Amino acid sequence: MDKEKEEYSIIIQDVYKTFNVYLDKANTIKEKLLFLFSRNKKQKREVLKGINANIKKGEVVALIGVNGSGKSTLLKLLTKIIYPNKGKIETKGKLTSLLELGAGFHPDFSGRENIYFNASIFGLTKKEIDARLDDIIEFSELKDFIDNPVRTYSSGMYMRLAFSVAINVDADILLIDEILSVGDEHFQNKCFDKMLELKKQGKTMVFVTHSMGAVKKLCDRTIWLCDGKIKMDGKTEKIVDEYIKQTA
């Protein structure tokens, strides 16, 4: 069993995640009276309901499903931004994520300062960042703006900087959530080509997107989440075709 585990970068065992959803505050007198006698001020929402999946080293996996199916929640659990109520997640190797645009950036720092700040969070030393700095700036295409505060950046510029840092920290596992939906077509294509290159290098990737074309081009395997459960898990072509058929 230990030898089997060694071939996996990500092991997800019987994972459940529940959030408390608080009811809206009462505004009118009638609502206040109703709320006064209501015992339930909050409701529990079960977002993930017993997820089991093992992802091999070097595997590129898409998470697909309609909004609210649990895709982004699962990615956040993998990054340990949040933790499961029940179950276990193991990741092996250095992990980098692109989940929320500009997360980890300080708005008053320049782009250059944020490169150092962000890359250090991923575990790089100053010397290692120095060696990668020119490559990060060149890939981002932000040379003319790199010493401006990032609060002056557009959402597309944020994405360029975040992606450029994330692909230059020598991570073993990359988690990407809809990041390619931001920015111009030229840079989206550039990012996609880079992800194909990382795939060839044997990086493990988990990719959340609504672009079925991107899924078919990039991912060998697709996991379809529906109402917090895995509906289908298998070869991308088959899963995507069935997903399109059922959600069209």
Q: What is the pLDDT of residues 106-162, one digit of tens each?
A: 999 999 999 999 899 888 999 999 999 999 999 999 999 999 999 999 888 888 898
**Identity at 173, one-letter amino acid code:** I
DSSP string for residues in 102-116: TTT--TTSBHHHHHH
Quick one: pLDDT at residue 101?
A: 58
Q: What is the pLDDT of residues 58-79, one digit of tens each?
A: 999 999 999 999 999 999 999 9
By C-alpha distance, which of 215, 213, 210, 153 is closest to 183?
153
CA distances 232 to 12, 56, 140, 202, 246, Å, are 16, 17, 36, 25, 12
By C-alpha distance, which of 79, 56, 65 is closest to 215?
65
What is the DSSP secondary structure assignment for residue 76, as one 8-state letter?
H
Which of 27-31, 103-107, 166-170 is the least confident region? 27-31
* pTM for the whole structure: 0.85
State how far the Cα of 103 lies from the Cα of 114, in Å rounded to an integer: 11
What is the DSSP secondary structure assignment for residue 135, as one 8-state letter?
H
